[in-house]
Amino acid sequence: MEAVLTKRIIFFGQPATIGCDVKCEKAWGVNSRPKRYLGGDPDEPGISSDESCSRADDYVFLPDSALPTAPVDPGTHEGSSGKPRSVEDRLNRWCARECERCVMTKAGLPNAPLVLPDLEHLEPNLWERR
């Protein structure tokens, strides 16, 4: 069974619970984790801005096994919180809002079950593909 670390928080004034798999060494953050674009590179020269936006949203994260250890500081922050560097810092604001390994119950439902993402067998992120 996979280890799960949880913490009760207040999110937008409502109680919630966040949790993760405690694999911070593999946490890149949703804005920094390497990905594979399914519809082509959004930065390809000569494509329209509409097409670029459409392509930018059409990706799948690379699996943990294809990635090296994540940077200690991936360059993203939530307020004064960055990626945790110590056990005491785990499940901070960065985790709740930026970490791709962290999940949260809906605000107001802190006792709902947490289902951690499978970061080895990933699916495309577009809703119509799910």
Task: Write out pLDDT tens, residues 60-103.
Answer: 899 999 999 999 999 999 989 999 999 899 999 999 999 999 99
Residue 39: which domain range? Answer: 35-65
Query: Are residues 106 and 42 located together in one domain of the fold?
Result: no
Pure H helices in 1-130: 49-56, 93-97
Q: Look at residue 60 and give its three-state secondary structure.
A: strand
pLDDT at residue 94 in the model? 96
This prediction's pTM: 0.81
One domain, residues 40 and 79: no
- Tell me phi and psi for residue 16, to 5 degrees: -150, 170
Closest CA to 68 of 28, 29, 21: 28
Please count the CA atoms within 13 angstroms of the CA of 60 that sit on its side-chain side.
15
| Total domain count, the chain | 2
Which of residues 53 and 98 earns the better pLDDT score?
A: 98
109 pLDDT more than 80: yes
113/17 Cα distance (integer angstroms): 9
Q: Show the CA angle centred on residue 33, arms to residues 30 and 36, nearest 5°.
A: 110
Q: What band does 128 get if pLDDT is binned at 50, 70 and 90?
A: very low
Q: Is 45 in the same domain as 21? A: no
Q: Answer yes or no: do 74 and 117 share one domain.
A: yes
Domain boundary among 65, 85, 109: 65
